[in-house]
Chain A
Amino acid sequence: MTHLNLLPLQRNKSHWPLLLAGAALLALASAPVTAETPEQKGLAIATEIDKRDIGFGDSQAQLTMTLTNSHGQSSIRKLRLSTLENTDTAAGDKSLTVFDHPRDVKGTAFLSFTKILEPDDQWLFLPALKRVKRISSANKSGPFVGSEFAYEDLVSFEVGKYTYKWIRDEACGTLTCFVVARYPLYENSGYTRQITWVDQAEYRVQKVEYYDRKESLLKTLNQTAYQQYLNQYWRPLKMHMVNHQTGKETTLEFSPYTFQVGLNDSAFTPNRLKKVR
């Protein structure tokens, strides 16, 4: 991604038309390397983020979600999250979320197959009725269980979901970050764009600003307490989302993850959703 100038134009001589034509062709062919546009640089950063997460296999974590309203009153949800990596790049990961708290929703479970641009497949299990419902995933921008996280904020990151534009590099805490805008390509997003801060050391998303359909700043997400697993995979153990328009906040605190626990596709089916606890 260095900006080498390969154009031999300083050797331009009018009696070397063939060489000139060849040089022009070469210039065209090597344009991405020679003059990386902000869009190309943004995409390259996103691709690198994705690449560094390949091969995690599967993971499990428990999390505590604290919802705080503008009066400072808070309520807590506890849930367990299982994720299965999809090695096929044409589709995203599978995830299973089981609620433990509050008690009236204990046992409620949510199964999601993330897609790239197609709508995700989602099923909900209601334990009192023993009923599995296929639900619409059109509600991407809706709040996840009353929190400040929308469904689209929580699904697995897939490069093909956005277009990108690198904006600048700047300090973020003790690190240096790429600042990259991403523009959702999937339908029903509540955002026109997201501005992300990605540290240059490990390509971890440190912060995201979400801009709503009216182009105003809606929310800011800070991801902290990053921990590395299997000497490769970084996960933030704390995610804090603040909604600037309502003053509400949601904090997710993860118990340490466990990776490669041996989950497979058979555990991520609507049939098995009826038997989770």
Chain B
Amino acid sequence: MMTERYPCALVMAMLLIPVSGIAPRAAELDIAGSSSMEVRLFPHQISYAGQRKSMVSPSLSLEPEFVLETDDGTDRLTLIPFARLDADDDRRSHFDLREANWLHLADAWDSRVGIGKVFWGVTESRHLVDIVNQTDAVENTDGEDKLGQPMINLNLQTDWGNFALFALPGFRERTFADDDARLRGPKPVQQNDATYDSSARAHHVDFALRWSRTLGDVDIGVSHFHGTSREARALTAARADGVSVFVPHYDQIDQTGIDAQLTRDAWLWKFEGIVRSGHGNRFAATVAGVEYSFYQVADTSADIGVIAEYQYDGRDRSAPGTLSDDDLFVGLRWAANDAQDTSALAGLIVDRNSQETALSFEAERRLTDRWKAEIEGRWMENVPADGFLAGIKNDDHVIFRLTRYF
């Protein structure tokens, strides 16, 4: 499966070049990582004929980390494979190289070559500016899990700010739930029949550039991306057996983004905005809001953060769909600041026009030095028949996860 998606030979070549130079100077191989047992509970009935009826859906995942670094810390090889085995969703059972790269650090610059992960942005309810890595959508509905992205990345630290340059050879297709799995959407997705604007298909080389700087209380970034959209448009097609299906289509886009945060006292003022062309008409989208923290609430060591964000997206129907066209997000973050790092985050997103609502809850606590427990819940309310969430409205779920670190 992987060979179809990566230019594997290129990645191997990129990694082999530094290995020969580094190995003699390397201090030791550091092995760490984690393994999780997860159970997803789906309390509601299935929506579509042929979907598996299991309401209790277990899975296992493994994510080891291998790091080899020179004594002086200037060169580092990182390998982080990831695998999940899911009892009910054959596509959620998947393997990915989250990282397989060579990092070189110099005083004024650094470079990363291989498969890596990059995050851009500041807001909590939507990651609008973040575009380098594809979302690993089968992992979780929160969009926080990403597939490893092949890259040649150069970062320059200058008096005028940081400049990050990326050449991204090899596109990663978004992952979708299997036809008979939960969270699959209104039609089966023909994941392997994706179509592209570019004749190079997944081999199109994308480019990205980001300038970022700290100016007193403000951290700001301006970025541009030219290449294959990470979001897919859903084209309707008929499968050989006559079933109506979605085929993902990946447009060539240009996206310019700004992300900024003003940090003052206990207030964080956040803004992300993009302008994107390539899916029909050019459009703008933004997420803006505040986060305020109350520290040592009621004379305990706990903190409570209140988050409020507004989401706007001006895209029309010729672009991939989004929930965030005109929505309000309100969130509450709680951190006990205890020895177990117990924390929780609850949030809801409400569409201002349809009142379509998505709720989410996450909590975690360290059990011992090696074990951590997590609970997550996702609910949907007021979903109209033509709502963005209509296809998965019966797929409210709760996740219990137990992770062992090694």
**A residues at B contact (CB < 8 Å):** 67, 69, 75-76, 101-106, 119, 121, 129-136, 138-139, 141-143, 145-146, 190, 264, 266, 269-272, 275, 277
Contacts and interface: CB of A to CB of B under 8 A. Distances in A.
Given A131-B119, A270-B214, A103 B155 contact: no
B341 interface: yes
A136 B32 contact: no
Chain B contact residues, majority secondary structure: strand
Give the residue among A69, A139, A145 with the most B Cβ atoms within 10 A.
A139
A277 B263 contact: no
Contacts of B157: 266, 269, 271-272
A103 B268 CA distance: 29
A136 B110 contact: no
B403 interface: yes
Contacts of B252: none
A136 B293 contact: yes
Nearest to B73: A277
B406 A103 contact: yes
A277 B76 contact: yes
Given A102-B366, A102-B369, A142-B303, A275 B103 contact: yes
Given A103-B32, A266-B108, A271-B162, A134 B261 contact: yes
B219 interface: yes
B119 A129 contact: yes
A49 B296 CA distance: 32
A75 B34 contact: no
Nearest to A190: B296
B381 interface: no
A75 B110 contact: no
B303 A277 contact: no
Given A134-B263, A136-B268, A76 B119 contact: no
B369 A139 contact: no
A121 B262 CA distance: 12
Nearest to B342: A146
A269 B293 CA distance: 24
Given A75-B339, A129-B119, A134-B268, A103 B370 contact: yes
A130 B118 contact: yes
**Contact residues on B (Cβ < 8 Å of other chain), bracket:** 35 or more
Given A103-B34, A139-B266, A266-B157, 4 more contacts: A102-B369, A103-B405, A104-B405, A269-B157
Given A130-B117, A139-B293, A277 B155 contact: no
A264 B107 CA distance: 8
A275 B99 CA distance: 13
Nearest to B212: A271
Contacts of A275: 103, 105, 110
Interface of B: 32, 34, 67, 69, 76, 103, 105, 107-108, 110, 117-119, 122, 144, 155, 157, 162, 212, 214, 219, 261, 263, 265-268, 293, 295-296, 301, 303, 337-341, 366, 369-370, 372, 403, 405-406
Contacts of B370: 102-103
A248 B76 CA distance: 40
Contacts of A143: 301, 337
A143 B122 CA distance: 24
A139 B294 CA distance: 9
A130 B266 CA distance: 23
A146 B103 CA distance: 33
A119 B265 CA distance: 8
A277 B267 CA distance: 29
Contact of B341 (A69, A146, A190): A146
Contacts of B107: 264, 266
Contact of A138 (B108, B110, B118, B266): B266
A270 B372 CA distance: 28
B405 A139 contact: no
